[in-house]
Amino acid sequence: MNICLSDLPKDKIYTAGNNKKYISITTWDYAPGDPQYNDSDFSVSVTRTAQEKQDKKPLVFIGGGVIHNVH
């Protein structure tokens, strides 16, 4: 998986009680073999608040990845 730190919206980064910085993320799974997703199995976006969803604010995609099945 990769995440583009340059695309993280600064207003979504928060400091927790342990004094470390965090951002909430959401993953989006794709249908297996779907060619439009550049060989990724999922994408990662910054989590939107309920109000942002209601206001139809666009998703901020920050990365993607591949699922490896290890047996």
This prediction's pTM: 0.75
CA 34/CA 1 separation, integer angstroms: 18
**Average pLDDT of span 63-67:** 85
Residue 29: the pLDDT is: 83
Mean pLDDT of the chain: 87
Closest among 70, 7, 64, 58 to 34, alpha carbons compared: 64
